Amino acid sequence: MKKFTLLSIMLFLYAASFSQIMPDAYDGIEQSSKSRIFIDNFDDNRYYWIKESSPNTHRISDGYLFFANDFGFPFTDGKPINFDPTRNFELEARIKFISGNVEEFNGLFFGQLIFGDKYYYSFSSMGEYKIEKEEGLNTKVIVPPTKLESINKTAENSLTIRKYDDMYYFFINKTLVHSMPYEDLPGQYIGFNISKKTLVRINFLRLQYIN
């Protein structure tokens, strides 16, 4: 009986070690611990990315959003999402650079949309990433352009921003590239920041609470 009890305890501890939450590892939080707030798989235009009159010739085809920025400057397009940014959450998208300047950066943002605090998390097809924070009319560089071998130059790249307790964690293609303390930031918009004269293809945009 004692041997059975000891074995049971050991098996329990072994199983518990695998269910331990590790926010700094991409797979360190089980999907069962997440609940969906917003997802767009671009099966249709239900969230109105495509507008009737715009110099940005977006289109949706075969489950992808083709996001074209025809302006001569970076363009931000986002959606207001009713979520609590003080809770633990995860924002993720999968993006492929199609055409434009390979040295320019494209990616995600979250925060206020116009003249408000927000974070930009982006990559270039030169194999670099960067993280910035917009503060009013100023931009603060958090991580300058940094080389990363795991960035796909000709294929999709997954960008993930995870907020857990008092930290932010940034992943590219499931690789942790940066972590930093959480700052209380209005986060009612999520979306994309696309560089000038650029076309990208977006597979999905997803926002989840971590319970």
Which distant-in-sequence residues (6+ apart) come within 8 Å of 26 by Cβ? 160, 171, 174, 175, 176
* CATH label of the domain that carries residue 194: 2.60.120.560
> Looking at the domain assignment, is residue 31 inside a domain?
no
Higher per-residue pLDDT: 184 or 17: 184
> Looking at the domain assignment, is residue 170 inside a domain?
yes
What's the confidence (pLDDT) of residue 168?
Answer: 96
User: What is the pairing mode between strands 167-172 and 59-61?
Assistant: unpaired
Decide if pLDDT at 1 tops 50.
no
pLDDT digits (tens, 9 = 90+) for 85-117: 889 999 999 999 999 999 999 999 998 876 678
> Looking at the domain assignment, is residue 14 inside a domain?
no
How high is the mean pLDDT of the chain?
Answer: 89
User: Could you give the CA distance from residue 83 to residue 45 in angstroms, rounded to a whole number?
Assistant: 22
What's the confidence (pLDDT) of residue 6?
Answer: 61
Domain count, the chain: 1
Decide if pLDDT at 8 tops 70.
no
pLDDT digits (tens, 9 = 90+) for 111-151: 887 667 899 999 999 999 999 999 888 899 999 999 999 99
What's the confidence (pLDDT) of residue 2?
Answer: 46
Structural domain that includes position 161: 36-210
Q: Which of 26-40, 114-128, 159-173 has the lowest mean pLDDT?
A: 114-128
For residue 170, what are the β-bridge partners?
161, 178
> Looking at the domain assignment, is residue 63 inside a domain?
yes
Query: 71 φ, ψ to 5°?
Result: -70, 165
> Looking at the domain assignment, is residue 16 inside a domain?
no
Higher per-residue pLDDT: 80 or 53: 80
> Looking at the domain assignment, is residue 11 inside a domain?
no
> Looking at the domain assignment, is residue 196 inside a domain?
yes
User: Could you give the CA distance from residue 21 to residue 88 in angstroms, rounded to a whole number?
Assistant: 12
> Looking at the domain assignment, is residue 24 inside a domain?
no
What's the confidence (pLDDT) of residue 185?
Answer: 74
